[in-house]
Amino acid sequence: MEVKAKLIDTANASANVKIDAASVKARLNELALKTAKRAKIDGFRPGKVPVAVILKRYEKELERDAKSELFRDAVNDSLAQIKKKPDEILGEPIFVNYEEKGDDVEAEIEISFRPEVKIDGYEEAIPEYSTPRVLKKEIEEKVNEFLKFTAPLEKADKNELESGDFAKFDFEGFVDGVAFEGGKAENYVLEIGSNQFIPGFEDGMIGLKVGESRDVKVKFPDDYQAANLAGKEAIFKVKLHEIQAKNIKELTDESIKELLPSEKDITKAKFEDRIKEQIRNEKFQKLLNEELKQKFADAVVEKVKFDLPKVIVEQEIDLQLRNEWGNLSEDERKKLQEDKDALKEKRETFRDAAQKSVQLTFIIDEIAKSKGISVDDRELVQTVYMEAYRYGVDPKKHLENYQKQGILPALKMAIIEEKLFNKLFEKNKKEKE
């Protein structure tokens, strides 16, 4: 076997490999001998199967394995020639060319390595911004939302239901005169005008008097989650028992202590300060996600330059193409499947974005390391579980799906990125305040 390797740049190398027939045959025989010692074939004692029998049955598979082993050896020889270590390799080496000449094999292999990223001066890429202002009106609105949410419901001194009231009532739904599963409840409490029920239901209750019954006609949306009800007309028989209203208290030092009894030394002023900080953080996160991150990304990829590992760039191109695939029309997909040149041309349209994405990933990773930011497996699992709870799905299955799809590394990077951006801009934010 002959191997000639050279560095293309600091992150990539190529190797020209020639494997002669004798090397393939020798490795094939070695594998056949190992297989013979552990194979179980009828008519032969364990470990006594002749090599000739093994070759007759498994020659093609063993020859493929022999070539794979020889190419792995070739990669190791290449690393030795260019003074690189196996743990520096990123991704799997790729074949640029592969040709079988008789029993000989010739190939060109490209190997990529983790790039050396120098982030000196990256701080200059952090964009200037104004600290989000919080208006008094915004604080009042948030406080009123909190007071309304925590206020207890009490019987209202009125007899006719209006929008904004809370109705305590019984209901039962019928489609074509037949009651359907899940369409019945007693003493249910609903805020009229909250749009929690299907369109038309709450409007149909307006004007009801306490103790009165009414038939409310509605139509289930075409995309209703229960397929047996989607798009169908229904009648709900309702009976109003009581009209309720929220007893909303004014925010005072005394009332906030009643609403938050577990918090010591809470006052109206402290609570309003907390609301102010919450609003500021929400505004800052919006500014960060919609503007600052992109400005920083655009600036830092121009400032921090380094050689990109080709293997990772190609993987990112493939990923972006797969993500776009679902947005293509059926005709576009068919054309790309049938026309290799068209597919290649389409694939190339993602190269620039893929290169910037890979470049930014390595930059973010390097800055995060310099800041001591990391995410361990426990935090990663907790994040997946919290996401599962929000979606109302089984956490363990959600985690298993992410593992099967290979999403966890990307999720881990996203968490690191979020931590980093908050840290980078938090310093800037405090300085400006």
8 A C-beta contact, residue 91 and residue 311: yes
Q: How confident is the model at residue 432 (pLDDT cuts 50, 70, 90)?
A: very low
Higher pLDDT, 317 or 431: 317
- Ranking 38-42, 218-222, 300-304 by mean pLDDT, the lowest is 38-42
At 131 the pLDDT is 84
pLDDT at residue 357 in the model: 92
* Contact of 398 with 381, CB cutoff 8 Å: no
Q: In the chain, what percentage of residues exceed pLDDT 90?
A: 69
pTM of the full predicted structure?
0.69
Please determine, for residue 120, whether its predicted confidence score (pLDDT) is greater than 60.
yes
Q: What is the pLDDT of residue 390?
A: 82
Banded pLDDT at 348 (limits 50, 70, 90): very high
Whether 324 shows a pLDDT value over 50: the answer reads yes
Q: What is the pLDDT of residue 395?
A: 87
Per-residue pLDDT reduced to its tens digit, 149-172: 889 999 999 999 999 999 999 999
A 10 A CB-CB count for 339 gives 12
2, 18 Cβ separation under 8 angstroms: yes
- The mean pLDDT value for 339-349 works out to 94
Q: Mean of the pLDDT values across residues 223-238?
A: 93
In this prediction, residue 167 carries a pLDDT of 97
Q: Which residue has the higher pLDDT, 139 or 35?
A: 139
Each residue of 260-302: pLDDT tens digit? Answer: 888 888 999 999 999 999 999 899 889 998 999 999 999 999 9
What domains sit in the chain, N to C, each tagged with a CATH number?
2-112 (3.30.70.1050), 152-246 (3.10.50.40), 268-432 (1.10.3120.10)
Compute the average pLDDT of residues 30-53.
Answer: 82
> 100 is written with which tokens?
């079988």
At residue 198, the pLDDT reads 94
pLDDT at residue 433 is higher than 50: no
Residue 407 has pLDDT above 90, yes or no: no
| pLDDT (average), residues 247-252 | 91
pLDDT at 236 over 70: yes
pLDDT (0 to 100) of residue 262: 87
Q: What is the 3-state secondary structure (H, E, C) of the chain?
A: CEEEEEEEECCEEEEEEEECHHHHHHHHHHHHHHHHHHCCCCCCCCCCCCHHHHHHHHHHHHHHHHHHHHHHHHHHHHHHHCCCCHHHECCCCEEEEEEEECCEEEEEEEEEECCCCCCCCHHHHCCCCCCCCCCHHHHHHHHHHHHHHHCCEEECCCCECCCCCEEEEEEEEEECCEEEEEEEEEEEEEECCCCCCCCCHHHHHCCCECCCEEEEEEECCCCCCCCCCCCCEEEEEEEEEEEEEECCCCCCHHHHHHHCCCCCCCCHHHHHHHHHHHHHHHHHHHHHHHHHHHHHHHHHHHHCCCCCCHHHHHHHHHHHHHHHHCCCCHHHHHHHHHCHHHHHHHHHCCHHHHHHHHHHHHHHHHHHHHCCCCCCHHHHHHHHHHHHHHHCCCHHHHHHHHHHHCCHHHHHHHHHHHHHHHHHHHHHHHHHC
Decide if pLDDT at 134 tops 70. yes
In whole numbers, what is the pLDDT of the chain averaged over residues?
A: 91
Structural tokens at position 35: 């297989």
pLDDT the model gives residue 73 = 94
Q: Give me the pLDDT at residue 34, please.
A: 87
- Mean pLDDT of the 380-397 span: 87
Residue 431: band (very low, low, confident or very high) from pLDDT cuts 50, 70, 90: very low
**Residue 429's pLDDT band (cuts 50, 70, 90):** very low
Residue 188 pLDDT exceeds 90: yes
- Between CA 298 and CA 22 the distance in angstroms is 54
